[in-house]
Amino acid sequence: MSKQEKFYDLLDTLRTGAEAAGTLALGALGLACEGAEKAAEAVRLRCQAARVEGEVDGKLMEAGEMVYATHTGNPTESEELLEKLREIDELKARLAELNETLGRKPKDAACPGCGEPVEEGARYCPHCGEKLN
Ligand SMILES: [Zn+2]
Protein backbone atom coordinates (compact mmCIF):
# COMPACT_ATOMS: atom_id res chain seq x y z
CA MET A 1 0.00 0.00 0.00
CA SER A 2 1.41 3.40 -0.98
CA LYS A 3 1.64 6.27 1.45
CA GLN A 4 -1.20 8.01 -0.34
CA GLU A 5 -3.43 4.94 -0.16
CA LYS A 6 -2.68 4.64 3.52
CA PHE A 7 -3.63 8.27 3.96
CA TYR A 8 -7.00 7.74 2.22
CA ASP A 9 -7.51 4.59 4.27
CA LEU A 10 -6.91 6.66 7.36
CA LEU A 11 -9.38 9.32 6.18
CA ASP A 12 -12.00 6.64 5.52
CA THR A 13 -11.57 5.27 8.99
CA LEU A 14 -12.01 8.74 10.42
CA ARG A 15 -15.17 9.22 8.35
CA THR A 16 -16.84 5.95 9.32
CA GLY A 17 -19.66 7.62 11.19
CA ALA A 18 -20.76 7.97 14.79
CA GLU A 19 -19.54 4.60 15.99
CA ALA A 20 -15.98 5.28 14.88
CA ALA A 21 -16.21 8.82 16.27
CA GLY A 22 -17.29 7.39 19.61
CA THR A 23 -14.31 5.06 19.58
CA LEU A 24 -11.96 7.93 18.79
CA ALA A 25 -13.46 10.02 21.61
CA LEU A 26 -13.01 7.12 24.02
CA GLY A 27 -9.43 6.76 22.86
CA ALA A 28 -8.80 10.45 23.52
CA LEU A 29 -10.39 10.11 26.96
CA GLY A 30 -8.12 7.18 27.73
CA LEU A 31 -5.11 9.27 26.74
CA ALA A 32 -6.26 12.17 28.94
CA CYS A 33 -6.60 9.84 31.92
CA GLU A 34 -3.19 8.37 31.28
CA GLY A 35 -1.73 11.90 31.19
CA ALA A 36 -3.38 12.77 34.49
CA GLU A 37 -2.08 9.58 36.07
CA LYS A 38 1.44 10.39 34.95
CA ALA A 39 1.14 13.93 36.33
CA ALA A 40 -0.15 12.59 39.66
CA GLU A 41 2.75 10.14 39.77
CA ALA A 42 5.22 13.00 39.22
CA VAL A 43 3.61 15.02 42.03
CA ARG A 44 3.77 12.00 44.32
CA LEU A 45 7.47 11.49 43.51
CA ARG A 46 8.21 15.18 44.05
CA CYS A 47 6.51 15.12 47.46
CA GLN A 48 8.49 12.02 48.35
CA ALA A 49 11.73 13.69 47.23
CA ALA A 50 10.95 16.80 49.30
CA ARG A 51 10.26 14.63 52.36
CA VAL A 52 13.52 12.68 51.96
CA GLU A 53 15.37 15.98 51.52
CA GLY A 54 13.88 17.17 54.83
CA GLU A 55 14.97 13.91 56.49
CA VAL A 56 18.53 14.39 55.21
CA ASP A 57 18.58 17.93 56.66
CA GLY A 58 17.35 16.62 60.01
CA LYS A 59 19.95 13.85 60.13
CA LEU A 60 22.72 16.25 59.13
CA MET A 61 21.72 18.50 62.00
CA GLU A 62 21.73 15.57 64.43
CA ALA A 63 25.16 14.52 63.17
CA GLY A 64 26.35 18.10 63.50
CA GLU A 65 25.12 18.22 67.07
CA MET A 66 27.00 15.00 67.84
CA VAL A 67 30.21 16.46 66.42
CA TYR A 68 29.67 19.69 68.32
CA ALA A 69 28.93 17.78 71.57
CA THR A 70 32.27 15.99 71.12
CA HIS A 71 33.97 19.36 70.67
CA THR A 72 32.39 20.69 73.88
CA GLY A 73 33.54 17.70 75.91
CA ASN A 74 30.48 15.42 75.66
CA PRO A 75 31.79 12.91 73.13
CA THR A 76 29.23 10.85 71.26
CA GLU A 77 30.14 7.23 70.65
CA SER A 78 31.80 7.30 67.23
CA GLU A 79 29.79 4.22 66.29
CA GLU A 80 26.61 6.20 66.88
CA LEU A 81 27.88 9.05 64.73
CA LEU A 82 28.92 6.64 61.96
CA GLU A 83 25.48 5.06 62.07
CA LYS A 84 23.96 8.52 61.64
CA LEU A 85 26.24 9.23 58.68
CA ARG A 86 25.28 5.90 57.13
CA GLU A 87 21.60 6.83 57.45
CA ILE A 88 22.37 10.12 55.67
CA ASP A 89 24.14 8.22 52.87
CA GLU A 90 21.13 5.94 52.44
CA LEU A 91 18.71 8.86 52.35
CA LYS A 92 20.86 10.68 49.82
CA ALA A 93 20.96 7.59 47.60
CA ARG A 94 17.17 7.36 47.80
CA LEU A 95 16.88 11.04 46.94
CA ALA A 96 19.16 10.63 43.92
CA GLU A 97 17.01 7.69 42.79
CA LEU A 98 13.81 9.73 43.13
CA ASN A 99 15.29 12.64 41.20
CA GLU A 100 16.47 10.29 38.49
CA THR A 101 12.98 8.81 38.16
CA LEU A 102 11.52 12.32 37.97
CA GLY A 103 13.96 13.40 35.27
CA ARG A 104 13.59 10.26 33.21
CA LYS A 105 11.66 10.74 30.00
CA PRO A 106 9.21 8.07 28.87
CA LYS A 107 10.68 6.02 26.06
CA ASP A 108 9.40 7.03 22.62
CA ALA A 109 7.69 4.29 20.71
CA ALA A 110 8.75 3.75 17.12
CA CYS A 111 6.46 3.15 14.16
CA PRO A 112 6.77 -0.47 12.93
CA GLY A 113 6.25 0.80 9.37
CA CYS A 114 8.79 3.60 9.00
CA GLY A 115 10.67 3.55 12.31
CA GLU A 116 9.89 7.20 13.09
CA PRO A 117 9.10 8.03 16.73
CA VAL A 118 5.36 8.10 17.41
CA GLU A 119 3.45 9.42 20.38
CA GLU A 120 2.36 6.84 22.91
CA GLY A 121 -1.27 5.86 22.33
CA ALA A 122 -1.37 7.25 18.77
CA ARG A 123 -3.68 5.25 16.51
CA TYR A 124 -1.84 6.02 13.31
CA CYS A 125 1.73 6.98 12.52
CA PRO A 126 1.84 10.72 11.66
CA HIS A 127 4.76 10.09 9.30
CA CYS A 128 3.56 7.20 7.13
CA GLY A 129 -0.03 6.56 8.27
CA GLU A 130 0.68 3.01 9.47
CA LYS A 131 -2.03 1.78 11.82
CA LEU A 132 -0.60 1.38 15.30
CA ASN A 133 -1.80 -0.75 18.20
ZN1 LIG B 1 5.37 5.32 10.27
82-102 pLDDT, tens digit each: 898 899 999 999 998 888 887
Cα gap 117→124, rounded to integer Å? 12
Confirm if 67 and 85 have CB atoms less than 8 A apart.
no
Domain coordinates in residue numbering, the chain: 22-104
Check whether 46 has a pLDDT greater than 90: no
Check whether 50 has a pLDDT greater than 80: yes
User: pLDDT higher for 24 or 109?
Assistant: 109
Give the Å distance between the CA of 40 and the centre of ligand 1: 31
Give the Å distance between the CA of 110 and the centre of ligand 1: 8
Residue at 29: amino acid letter: L
Q: Give me the pLDDT at residue 4, please.
A: 66
DSSP state of 124: B
State mean pLDDT over 45-56: 88
Give the Å distance between the CA of 56 and the centre of ligand 1: 48
Check whether 27 has a pLDDT greater than 90: no
Give the Å distance between the CA of 126 and the centre of ligand 1: 7
Cα gap 47→53, rounded to integer Å? 10
Give the Å distance between the CA of 12 and the centre of ligand 1: 18
State mean pLDDT over 19-47: 67
State mean pLDDT over 68-95: 86
Residues with Cβ–ion distance below 5 A, ligand 1: 111, 113-114, 125, 127-128, 130
Confirm if 59 and 91 have CB atoms less than 8 A apart.
yes
Cα gap 95→47, rounded to integer Å? 11
